Chains A and B, each alone.
Chain A
Amino acid sequence: MKDVRNDELIRLSMKPELSPEEEARLEKILRGEPDAHAAWDEERALSRALQSLPDVPLSNNFTSRVMQEIDLEEARDQRMRHSHGGWFRGFWPRLSWGTAALVLGLVGMHEYSVSKRTQLANDVALVSKDAAKLPSAEVLQDFDAINQLRQVSMTSDDDLLIALQ
């Protein structure tokens, strides 16, 4: 409630003149709260102080200086556009170099890809030769079972030996 009152007092305090409705609203606020008078006096004094601050000195020809600066900037922009036209005259040589670099890059990638495939083919051929020396599939089918037998705990063999003795 106090914030709303303060808002209202600040707003009213900034007005150079109050309308009849605003005067009535102010009266209502001041009648309603005992400390509102002191608050109003302070807000009014501060607003007057702020509004009394002098204008910062300004040159008489400020506006014409602004327009001159605009003209200078527009002239500068025009010059830059023309120099970009000069850049455009060198565009075709730049495009040629760029295209050549792109073609060389693509050729290089192709050669690399071919060489990788050749290397892979050689590796496959090498493995294929050794693959002929591997046992047949029938021999290998019990590989897992045989491999598990090797992992039988040694503890059970010791118990058997003691029992046999």
Chain B
Amino acid sequence: MTSVALESVGFTYPDGTRALDGVDLSIPAGDAVAIIGQNGSGKSTLVRHLNGLLRPTEGRVLHDRTDVVGERVARLAAVVGIVFQNPDRQIFAGRVRAEVEFGPRILGRPPTEVARAATAALEAVGLVGLETTNPYDLGYSRRKLLSVASVLAMETPIVVLDEPTTGQDARGLARIQRVVAHLTASGRTVVAISHDMRFVAESFGRVVAMRAGRVILDGSPAVVFAAEHWADLASTYVEPPLPARVGDRLGLGSTPTDADLVEALVERH
């Protein structure tokens, strides 16, 4: 198991865009972390630092307290798997199964392990039976699930999901929630970027809010979505989930999920 940490990380794109501005973030092994914040606040840039796709222009990125400067992306990719926001920037194989097997194969796993991992990943996202389909004959939402499976199959200790619920219907969302729960239950670290506050509050133990390249809030859903932080959330264009707003109005404290709110109501009545 691997912990990752960013120490005073700054990053400026070649066109001068300042995307990260002094980020300190430590993620112990086994954490389930949701990163929230307005479009362009640096969320995707941040996660690309976790596996060396981007290198900090200031500060350090640590894996198990060791600076990864100079480490090749190919080695870091065995530790941190990233599912990109846009599946079409990730998918390249002509068959669903080949796409999913590529990751573990390139990591040098033996063929039986590759096959087992690919099957497990396809089952996790519900794409069993579509192994020989061309990925581009799948709709956008299934291509997205395929890109998730491709990274799951690498069985990395850390899995990063960049807006995994985009384009998913109710069943797809439930599937993604099960994937996150399963990863967390098996002790792996999950980091997800999301604008879906219901998903964030229900599936993650820790929420990190970003604004203009900085971390402005970091805590459990009950802490981050508590009324005292709504002004900060609004400053990065985030609205707390409905049960949090209703719970506050009814004087029930911080109730970020439907289940929290219902429990608080049952206790009161």
Q: Do A and B come from one complex?
A: no
> Using a CB–CB distance below 8 Å, which chain B residues touch chain A?
none
